[in-house]
Structure 1
């Protein structure tokens, strides 16, 4: 399953919408995706995890910023 993770680079700063970034990860479940992100990027402030399927996944894959993160 492909998940889109919305995050801020630091837990120490107050979250601001302008600083929200995203990445894509392939994981078996939402908890596994969260664990893998937190294990490799402990400073990230995770905001939202979205499962991408069907047309939403197709749309994201067409974007220039689409790249699966490999851990």
Structure 2
């Protein structure tokens, strides 16, 4: 499954929407995403599983690059 992860790069600051970044991660579960990203020192705001229609839409983005954890 592909998950879209919304995160802040600085774990020690209050999250600000304008600073939110996203990445796409392939994993078996949301828990596996969290465990796989644990060492990156980022503040994960939200993890969204991408369904078929939404995934197809995201694939059209220039920023679409899937990481495996």
What TM-score does the superposition give when structure 2 sets the normalisation length?
A: 0.93
Cα deviation per residue 1:23-70 (whole Å; 9 max; x = unaligned)? 00000111001110113x0x2000000000110000001111100124
CA distance in 1, matches of 2:37, 2:56: 23
What TM-score does the superposition give when structure 1 sets the normalisation length?
A: 0.91
Aligned residue pairs, count: 69
**Structure 1 spans left out of the alignment, 5+ residues:** none
**Structure 2 spans left out of the alignment, 5+ residues:** none
- CA RMSD, Structure 1 to Structure 2 (Å): 1.0
